Amino acid sequence: MRGVILREPGLLESIETEPPGSPASGEAVVRVERIGICGTDLHAYRGRQPFFAYPRILGHELGVIVEELGGEVQGIKVGDSCSVEPYMNCGHCRACRQGRTNCCASLECLGVQCDGGMRERILLPAAKLHRSEVLTTEQLALVETLCIGCHAVDRAGVQADDICVVIGVGPIGLAVLQHVQLRGARAIVLDVNAGRLGFCQASFGVTETVDVSATDPVAALSDLTGGEMASIVFDATGNPGSMEAAFDLAGQGARVVLVGLHLGKVSFADPDFHRRELTVLSSRNALPRDFQDVISNMESGKLDVTPWVTHRCSIDDLPSVFPGLITPEAGVLKAVVSV
């Protein structure tokens, strides 16, 4: 069975893997058809991914076909096309008991803490499969990324009268942006990459953008908002300087949502934090309901990921192609691997 493994930072290899065994009750064997490459994979390749150990089979953005089920499974049948919820939670810790399975105390994410789907077949809990009769497996492979944005916007409690600043419009930032737009809120996008700002304008109708490499973002945002600044700031960069600067963009009583992940510490000025009575939130992974909402919105055409995919390759070519995907000049927004 073909697969790809990350032996160590910078070393991705094609391998033959053992086929999955027969599924127990409540489990499913799925055929992996499409795999999205995300920032987690790129960070792991560079050796800068937290909660990670080598060697590891990557792959947590998956579009799959159900091949075998262990017993009767509610809502899923053989042949179904599904997106995979890649967060393996324990089901009994306090977070799980509260329905916050995305931050389970012993959570393992496919392709990060445990081996993922960068192989032909994989055995999974059937409850982690979210089916669609409409979407292609390529679209289903991108559902998880959109769910990250869905969860962040839900955490922030975005309302139609909010002024939302989205910092960093890679795939996660785009997922946040599209869900901000679904809520009817005002969206202002910040990035250091003029090309990505132009992409937001052309593909998603964003009219207010700030090129942080050329403009003081605080002054620019103050001009755009009449001095009120943002009511919600989403940082999707994972860059500590950007995450700390996000606090400067928040207005009175605002919320700062850190969607990106940084290996070290992030600090902010406490007097300003108190004076404006800010709220800071982290946003990790997503919940089952986010998968259901995203798939429904994709099926109805309210969410479109067609513009996202800039690069495609086969799993056989991936080890040779992958190093080129991480270079800035490649212009990768989202790469999808076919199996």
Domain architecture of the chain: domains with CATH: 2-142+305-338 (3.90.180.10), 149-282 (3.40.50.720)
- Whole-number pLDDT of residue 325: 87
Calculate the CA dihedral of residues 83, 86, 87, 91 and round it to 10 degrees: 60
Per-residue pLDDT for the chain (339 aa), expressed as one digit of tens each? 999 999 999 999 999 999 999 999 999 999 999 999 988 898 889 887 777 889 999 999 999 999 999 988 889 999 999 999 999 999 999 999 999 999 999 999 999 999 999 999 999 999 999 999 999 999 999 999 999 999 999 999 999 999 999 999 999 999 999 999 999 999 999 999 999 999 999 999 999 999 999 999 999 999 999 999 999 999 999 899 999 999 999 999 999 999 998 888 999 999 999 999 999 999 999 999 999 999 999 999 999 988 999 999 999 999 999 998 888 888 888 999 999
Q: Look at residue 48 in the predicted model and tell me its pLDDT.
A: 75
SS in 3 state form for 250-277?
EEEEEEEEECCCCCCCCCCCHHHHHHCC
| 22: its two tokens | 């027969």
Q: Is 151 helix (H, G, I), strand (E, B) or coil?
A: helix
Give the CA angle between residues 244, 249, 252 to the nearest 5°.
115
Give the list of residues 6+ apart from residue 212 with CB closer than 8 angstroms, or none: 167, 190, 191, 192
Least Cα distance to 245 among 225, 263, 229, 226 occurs for: 229
- Rounded Cα distance between 65 and 121, Å, is 9
| Contact present, 47 and 41 (Cβ < 8 Å) | no
Q: Which of 143, 85, 145 is nearest to 299 (CA)?
A: 143
* Short-list 253, 252, 233, CA closest to 189: 233
